[in-house]
Amino acid sequence: MNLSAKLRKIEIVISIMLVISLVLSSTIYATTEASKRSEAEKAGNKASELYQKVGEAEAKIKAIQDDINNKQAEINTTKENIEKTKVDIEKQNELLNDRLSVMYKTGSLGLIEVILSSNNVNELLTNISIVQRILTNDKKVLKDLKNKRKDLETLEENLSKQEEELKKSQGEVQNIRDEYKANADEYKRQQQELIDEANRLAAETAKAQAEAEKKLAEQGSAGGSSGGYLWPLPVNGVITSGYGYRSDPFLGTRSYHNGIDIAAPLGTPIRSVADGYVTLSSWYGGYGNCVIISIGGGKSTLYGHMNSRACSAGQYVSKGQVVGYLGTTGRSTGPHLHFTLFQNGVDINPYSLY
């Protein structure tokens, strides 16, 4: 293998690893409450979208049902007409039979009667012709009725076929509806699961927060707000992403940002903004190396994407104490500090401190 082929191979391996790490980090990121809520919202939206499609399919099913009902009404009318025609045919048959039987009884074509009732040859010929015409007409009416019945039977057959087609297409739409419905229900279920998980995480956070508040009270520290809160870095840094809704750097979609991103050189010391009690110092999903410090008054601060951490959970820290060093760990696109401020477990604008 030549050098360029080797390099290409290494490049491919690195790309694959990058993709895997991105997937993993976004999976891990899903452990935080905010991301659960946002996932739940997405699942909920998907469910609504699908339920709308279920509604559309149901409207279509109803429209087809109307068509089927119309066809059935047409079929019923046709059947009634066929019955009527059958009766007419019977009547006509009887009429013809009567005439024929009279003729048989009275001799060929009822000639005796015709002859006896005729006063002269001309009248006789006219009368014979009338009898023949009556017979021909009777036969013609019968033939027409039989044709009519045949046409009606063909019509009924066609209508039944059309009804079958309609039922088939209705069945197809019903299947589509059922599929949408099943998917929608599944998304709905996922949404509920995510909400439950988010609530569970929120409850855990609240519990940790309450414990931290207790610890701070034991220490006689009501929080380090005396003299104001410190900026979490010794430098101003550059705010690369503000608090609130923003365009997601990974997905390009609009998403919620629960803190501020402050870009500064790698390794810049990160300081606790107040006296506090460390409730978490570990890898924390998309936040990478992360520290959470309760600072009293129901407030809690989160410092994410650290290169390394310089405190541990269950430790008291004083205002300005270095708790870690700026990095780009977790779900991060470059060296920056992600800083979130919570009030009773709910993120609020960090600038409310200053």
Residues that bind Zn ion in the complex, under the rule CB under 5 A: 261, 338
| SS3 sequence of 139-205 | HHHHHHHHHHHHHHHHHHHHHHHHHHHHHHHHHHHHHHHHHHHHHHHHHHHHHHHHHHHHHHHHHHH
CB of 242 or CB of 320, closer to Zn ion:
242
CB of 85 or CB of 332, closer to Zn ion:
332
* Residue 81 near residue 151, CB atoms below 8 Å: no
> Closest separation between CB of residue 287 and Zn ion, Å?
8
User: What is the chain's length?
Assistant: 354
In the bound state, the residue with its beta carbon closest to Zn ion is 338
CB neighbours of residue 334 within 10 Å: 11
Shortest CA distance to 235 belongs to which of 277, 194, 266, 196? 266
CB of 279 or CB of 332, closer to Zn ion:
332
> Closest separation between CB of residue 236 and Zn ion, Å?
17
Residue labelled with tokens 């009248």: 123
The C-alpha atoms of residue 224 and residue 320 are separated, in whole angstroms, by 10
Which tokens hold the place of 330?
A: 């977790």
CB of 271 or CB of 336, closer to Zn ion:
336
CB of 37 or CB of 338, closer to Zn ion:
338
> Closest separation between CB of residue 249 and Zn ion, Å?
9
> Closest separation between CB of residue 54 and Zn ion, Å?
38
Torsion of CA 327, 330, 333, 337, to 10 degrees: -40
Q: Which residues pair with 327 in a beta bridge?
A: 336
Segments of the chain assigned E as strands: 238-241, 244-247, 254-257, 260-263, 269-271, 276-283, 289-296, 299-306, 308-309, 316-317, 322-325, 336-343, 346-348
Residue labelled with tokens 């980090």: 25
Which tokens hold the place of 257?
A: 């940002």
> Closest separation between CB of residue 257 and Zn ion, Å?
6
Which tokens hold the place of 160?
A: 């039944």
> Closest separation between CB of residue 336 and Zn ion, Å?
7
CB of 156 or CB of 261, closer to Zn ion:
261
Residue labelled with tokens 């610890």: 215
CB of 85 or CB of 329, closer to Zn ion:
329
> Closest separation between CB of residue 67 and Zn ion, Å?
56
CB of 170 or CB of 340, closer to Zn ion:
340
> Closest separation between CB of residue 246 and Zn ion, Å?
9
CB of 163 or CB of 261, closer to Zn ion:
261
CA 80 to chain centre: 47
Shortest CA distance to 177 belongs to which of 64, 58, 49, 59? 58
> Closest separation between CB of residue 248 and Zn ion, Å?
11
Shortest CA distance to 57 belongs to which of 179, 228, 193, 173? 173
